[in-house]
């Protein structure tokens, strides 16, 4: 059934309210979507885009109040109209802690509105023993973005999750779940599960899900917080913005199909990859685009991506502006001198901290890859960042760097006043624990559902 063609021309409709649960959306757009009688409501709630912090810390990516606001709009009409709701990557990283927090919000809304429904939760946390078993058997491979995995990376990880495909979600649907809350989920899976369950081809379902997961970002003008309706029928799917101010075009839809991809024709996921070599984009009218020809190519082994995070220390930053043209001219030399003084002053801790300068207006975005080598700005933004083993050390090094830079006597300086204009008081800001990705690797499984237990309860 992976690339079978359904002949039902009415098709199946999937409503995507917003790019991330908690980002918000216009209630009028959502009401318009409900009026189109969708078969499913699906919404992504997480990503690795914000980095490893939310995975490592268990903190929600979007505030609980924002999640509550969105679900108060989504859940009552969905339950009333018997429309299943599927939430992918709950809370941001889809950990058990995130699942628990979002499940509590759902329970509160159900109680407030006297809603009765069957809730399915699907955990995505993977035990270290299970990962070590595959590691010792030599069955874990690195993604293109990751180095080889070490045993200590596994042991030092505070959290490990795996990206589920559509199969555990279909199991929850088959068990009668009307609201499904997923742990870490391959982003398009929440949108593809319903169509695949019905028999639509995996390639079309996943390609449609790839676009719907970002809601109206692929529309013109783009927005991550507006509603979109995807309809899959026969050998194609259609995309329509539910706000008259937005429209899908061939250019915007095809461009978004390249989103977050290193290969323009292939998007890997659990069990295989979407193949876009034969994909065709066609304007139905000035607001709706039709997409056909997308295929799903399975891999020999069903591979899932593991994501792990581990603590790397404590971060303190100081943010300042530089306006003196003489200092701007010699900024690299001054940074090097301040860095040397910090390393000398904290020589006994040299292996316990990292000092990084980010210079915005020069190369703060691209770093060494910045092609424009001459500074063209009349002012620079300077972020001094220290990551250290302890909070105390990170704060001490940052305060030393800040004060040294503030009074540094660079060549040509006329005024003996401060070199930096600080954005905040206090000028040094402790940012908390720092986490890094420790695992970003692929692991084979015998069955797509084996690592993702479905728990069902009545609300």
Residue carrying the six token digits 């250290």: 388
Report how far Cα 406 is from the mean position of its chain's Cα atoms: 37
Whole-angstrom Cα distance, residue 240 to residue 260?
22
β-pairing, 295-298 vs 353-360, is unpaired
How far, in Å, CA of 244 to CA of 226, rounded?
A: 11
pLDDT for 348? 96
Per-position pLDDT tens, the chain of length 459: 455 444 455 689 999 999 999 999 999 999 999 999 999 999 999 999 999 999 999 999 999 999 999 999 999 999 999 999 999 999 999 999 999 999 999 999 999 999 999 999 999 999 999 999 999 999 999 998 789 999 999 999 999 999 999 999 999 999 999 999 999 999 999 999 999 999 999 999 999 999 999 999 999 999 999 999 999 998 999 999 999 999 999 999 999 888 777 888 999 999 999 999 999 999 999 999 999 999 999 999 999 999 999 999 999 999 999 999 999 999 999 999 999 999 999 999 999 999 999 999 999 999 999 999 888 899 999 999 999 999 999 999 999 999 999 999 999 998 887 899 999 999 999 999 999 999 999 999 999 999 999 999 999
Contact yes or no for 206/124 (Cβ under 8 A): no
Q: Residue 309: its pLDDT value, please? A: 97
Q: Where are the beta strands (DSSP E) in 261-301?
A: 266-269, 272-275, 280-283, 288-292, 295-298
Q: Do residues 353 and 386 lie in contact, with contact meaning Cβ atoms separated by under 8 Å?
A: yes
- β-bridge partners, 441: 142, 306
Q: How far apart are CA 272 and CA 302, in angstroms?
A: 7
| Pick from 46, 85, 61, 93: nearest CA to 187 | 46
**What is the DSSP code (8-state) at residue 308?**
E
The helix or strand, by DSSP H or E, that contains position 102, with its residue range, turns out to be helix 96-113
**Domain limits, the chain:** 12-124+163-299, 311-437
> Half-sphere exposure of 317 toward its Cβ, with a 13 Å CA cutoff?
15
Displacement of CA 350 from its chain's centroid (Å): 34
Do residues 21 and 225 touch, judged by C-beta distance below 8 A?
no
Tell me the backbone φ, ψ of residue 134, rounded to 5 degrees: -70, -35
- Any idea which fold 311-437 has? Alpha-Beta Plaits (3.30.70)
If phi > 0 it is left, if psi is from -120 to 50 it is alpha, else beta; for residue 376 that is alpha
- What pLDDT is attached to residue 109? 98
Upstream peptide bond of 221 is cis (omega within 30 degrees of 0): yes
The reported pLDDT for the residue numbered 9 is: 56
- Tokens of residue 61, six digits: 């990516």
| Cβ-contact 435, 311 below 8 angstroms | yes
pLDDT at 164: 98
Listed residue (148, 53, 45, 47) closest to 437, CA to CA: 53
CA angle 124, 111, 77 (to 5 degrees): 80
**304, 443 in Cβ contact below 8 A?**
yes
Sign, CA dihedral 342-343-347-353, equals positive
Instruction: Give the model's pLDDT for residue 7.
Output: 44
d(CA 152, CA 140): 14
What is the reported pLDDT for 258?
Answer: 82
Whole-model pTM? 0.93
């Amino acid at each position: 059934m992976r690339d079978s063609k359904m002949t039902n021309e009415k098709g199946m409709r999937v409503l995507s309210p917003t790019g991330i649960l908690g980002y918000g959306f216009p209630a009028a757009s959502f009401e318009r979507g409900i009026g189109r009688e969708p078969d499913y409501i699906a919404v992504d709630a997480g990503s690795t885009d914000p980095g490893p912090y939310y995975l490592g810390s268990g903190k929600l990516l979007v505030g609980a109040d924002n999640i509550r606001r969105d679900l108060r709009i989504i859940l009552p009409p969905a339950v009333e109209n018997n429309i299943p709701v599927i939430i992918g990557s709950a809370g941001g990283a889809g950990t058990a802690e995130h699942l628990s927090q979002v499940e509590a919000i759902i329970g509160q809304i159900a109680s407030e509105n006297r809603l009765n429904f069957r809730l399915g939760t699907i955990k995505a946390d993977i035990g270290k023993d299970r990962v070590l078993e595959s590691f010792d058997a030599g069955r874990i491979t690195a993604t293109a973005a990751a180095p080889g995995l070490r045993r200590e990376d596994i042991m030092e990880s505070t959290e490990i999750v795996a990206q589920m495909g559509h199969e555990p979600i279909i199991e929850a649907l088959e068990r009668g779940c009307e609201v499904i809350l997923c742990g870490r989920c391959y982003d398009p899976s929440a949108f593809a599960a319903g169509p695949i369950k019905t028999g639509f081809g995996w390639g079309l379902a996943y390609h449609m899900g790839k676009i719907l997961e970002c809601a109206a970002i692929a529309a013109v003008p783009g927005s991550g917080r507006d509603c979109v309706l995807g309809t899959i029928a026969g050998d194609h799917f259609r995309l329509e913005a539910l706000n008259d101010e937005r429209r899908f075009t061939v250019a915007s839809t095809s461009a978004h199909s390249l989103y977050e991809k290193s290969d323009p024709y292939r998007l890997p996921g659990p069990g295989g990859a979407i193949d876009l070599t034969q994909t065709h984009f066609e304007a139905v009218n000035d607001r709706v685009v039709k997409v056909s020809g997308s295929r799903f190519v399975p891999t020999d082994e069903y591979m899932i991506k593991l994501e792990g995070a581990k603590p790397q220390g404590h971060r303190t930053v100081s943010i300042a502006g530089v306006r003196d043209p003489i200092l701007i001219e010699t900024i690299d030399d001054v940074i090097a001198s301040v860095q040397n003084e910090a390393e000398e002053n904290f020589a006994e801790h040299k292996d316990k901290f990292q000092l990084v300068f980010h210079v915005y207006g020069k190369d703060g975005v691209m770093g060494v890859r910045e092609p424009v080598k001459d500074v063209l700005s009349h002012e620079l933004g300077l972020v001094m960042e220290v990551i250290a083993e302890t909070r105390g050390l990170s704060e001490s090094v940052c305060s030393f760097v800040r004060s040294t830079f503030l009074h540094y006597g660079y060549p040509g300086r006329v005024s003996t006043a401060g070199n930096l204009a600080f954005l905040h008081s206090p000028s040094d800001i402790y940012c908390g624990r720092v986490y890094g990705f420790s695992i970003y690797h692929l692991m084979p499984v015998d069955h797509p559902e084996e690592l993702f237990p479905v728990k069902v309860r009545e609300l």
